[in-house]
Structure 1
Amino acid sequence: MDLKELTTFQTIVQEGTFSRAAEKLNYAQSTITNQIQRLEKELGIQLFTRGWDAQLTAAGRLFADEVDRLIQHWHEVAGLVRSLEQEEIGTIRIGAIEAVMETVLPNALRRFQQAKPRMAWQIITGNSDTLTESLREDKLDFAVCGEPGDSSQYYFEPLYEERTVLIADRAHPLCGRSEVVFEDIFDYPLIAGGSTCLYALQFNKHLARYKETPTVTHTVSQISSIPHMVKGTSAIGVVLSSTSLIAETAPLPVRMELPPIAVGLLQTRKHSGPPSSSKQLLQRLVREEIEAVKALRQ
């Protein structure tokens, strides 16, 4: 059976005769008759008692009770298929902090491209604050970043945690110690993320508990560059636990009572309902890649 046959049957029931149904559908009456005969043959039942009026049989009345639902379902399925086909061509916009750019996103996007070869993607890298703003301005479909301070407009799904780590050149005076007191770092310049970085804001808040402060604090928006800037200097870098270090640098054994920073999927609440298939797929791949990275670090 096809949609035309179901629609013809529905129209006959509504109009009361084959001739009026043919006129409404702009078909020849023979076409109407042939469609009903094919439908009856496929169903294995007789729907109408033959005559001038379209008199339903008992089986026809049962079928008539369900035909509206069948036609509606047919249209819904066809609409879903069309929307999925249209979605195969398009662009998905993702924001990400540096921590996931080197490990998580490349593998996730590689797998995504295999499943959706005609879908393009756009990546914006930034800190959590700038990515949150881009989401609010509808420049991104979702982001992998930290949780915003004001989450009333957003839906955040935490996936893993980052910790703040201090690093230094391996020749640094503090680097050879088994334990470093936090106040000892005040004698050296600091290099940290920009003022809008969540971890930098948290670290600065921690500094406010001490009367003394570092001699000077430099800021750089690209956290991955901090190890290179620390190399060969007396400066101490403030980075995240996932930051890739270079051979000339090492973490300092400093005790800091800083809470971990949650990182996860962030989207505006207006987009937090059932996601599109492409968006849903990419988010699933991001989750899987994050779990794989966590397993390697354990």
Structure 2
Amino acid sequence: MDIKALKTLRAIAETGSFQAAANQLNYAQSTVTFQVQQLERELALQLFEKVGRKMVFTQAGKDLLPAIDNILGTVTAMKNYGKATAAFTGDLRIAIPDTLLTYRMQPFLKAFHAAAPAVQLSLQMANCFAIPQRVTNGTVDVGVHYDVGSYGPNLVVGRLRDFPLVLVASGQRDPATVNLQVSHQRLDCALITDDRESIYHKRFSAAIAERDISFPHFLEIGSVEAVKQSVISNLGVAYLPKFVVQPELDTGQLQVLPTAFAHETLTAVYVYRKNKEQSSLFTEFIQSLVTAFTDKNKSKNSSGFGYD
């Protein structure tokens, strides 16, 4: 069985189409089609079926993805056997939400890349509720996200750190105009979010609904940075992890508005498949990730991966 064909199948799962996989792998689309057909003949299984104009995975194809990921992980482990971290090779596919990727993971990723420059990191931004499914079906190796609960028995879940949530407004706004400590009111203010399906927006929506508080205006902007700038411009208020807005709080561009649920937190976790091949590369990444999130003194762990 050709390892290249297995890599092609995984690329199709990651990118969503034969053409996108071909572009990623620098193949002609005909090469991708040939490799898939060859793999189907060897396995005596139909891995794809045509739905409309698209080729989609059959159930057999979906079921095989975790096994294929394990095979490729084993190959990576063999290549990395006995090597120092700096000589590691292979791919690591990580699914992570915008807030963590943009505002927490950058120093760690920079340090990891410096320590293992030959490792190809593939970062996929995704909603926290979608990440466990991507891990389960083998389209990513590990998810780093906020705990959403209800994980299947095939996933390993590790706690990283708790992060407080805050309601923020422009430093120009009179805080008395948005008083969420009083129930049964309709606020004359816009509520701004980057994703109405995010866990923090769902938490906030449930909290104000319980207290019969409503916002007549709602803005959904698909970028956390754009949300922050909109709040700074006094277009409305937003409920976000505090670390996302800490620099603007420090400068006075934003302010925290008191609420009746001021101690709400989110727990960051990592998840991976229970039967995943534990290569030295994967183990090093997980250990360094845990250290990065728990190190409050900005020190370096034993592998040299610094994190601020």
Aligned length: 214
TM (norm. structure 1) is 0.62
Structure 1: where are the runs of 5+ without partners?
1-79
Among residues 281, 284, 293, which one is paired with 2:284 in the alignment?
Answer: 281
- Are 1:208 and 2:206 matched, yes or no? no
- Judge conservation of contact 1:146–1:261 (CA < 8 Å) in 2: yes
Structure 2 residue aligned with 1:94 = 94
Name the amino acid aligned to 1:140. V
Name the amino acid aligned to 2:135. L
Among residues 256, 259, 263, which one is paired with 1:251 in the alignment?
Answer: 256
Q: Go from structure 1 to structure 2 and tell me whether the alpha carbon gap of 1:214 and 1:231 turns closer, same or farther (over 3 Å shift).
A: same
Q: Compare 165-174 and 282-291 and name the one that shifted more.
A: 282-291
Alpha-carbon RMSD: 3.1
Structure 1 residue aligned with 2:22 = none
- Are 1:84 and 2:88 matched, yes or no? no
Taking the aligned partners of 1:205 and 1:232, their CA distance within structure 2 comes to: 26
Structure 2 residue aligned with 1:223 = 224
Structure 2: where are the runs of 5+ without partners?
1-76, 299-308
Taking the aligned partners of 2:105 and 2:168, their CA distance within structure 1 comes to: 25
Name the amino acid aligned to 2:138. D
Which entry has the higher C-alpha Rg, 1 or 2?
Answer: 1
Q: Deviations over 1:17-60 (max 9, x none)?
A: xxxxxxxxxxxxxxxxxxxxxxxxxxxxxxxxxxxxxxxxxxxx
Taking the aligned partners of 1:173 and 1:185, their CA distance within structure 2 comes to: 17
Name the amino acid aligned to 1:223. V
- Judge conservation of contact 2:136–2:273 (CA < 8 Å) in 1: yes
Name the amino acid aligned to 1:231. I
Q: Go from structure 1 to structure 2 and tell me whether the alpha carbon gap of 1:113 and 1:221 turns closer, same or farther (over 3 Å shift).
A: same
- Judge conservation of contact 1:175–1:252 (CA < 8 Å) in 2: no
Displacement of 1:262: 1.2
- Judge conservation of contact 1:111–1:285 (CA < 8 Å) in 2: no
- Judge conservation of contact 1:142–1:266 (CA < 8 Å) in 2: yes
Q: Deviations over 1:192-213 (max 9, x none)?
A: 2423211111111112213341
TM (norm. structure 2) is 0.60
Structure 2 residue aligned with 1:181 = 181
Displacement of 1:291: 2.1
Displacement of 1:91: 1.0
Work out the percentage of aligned pairs sharing the same amino acid: 13
Name the amino acid aligned to 1:145. H
Q: Compare 120-129 and 253-262 and name the one that shifted more.
A: 253-262
Structure 2 residue aligned with 1:162 = 163
Taking the aligned partners of 1:220 and 1:130, their CA distance within structure 2 comes to: 19
Note the 1:32-111 alignment, pairs <5 A.
84=81, 88-102=88-102, 104-111=104-111
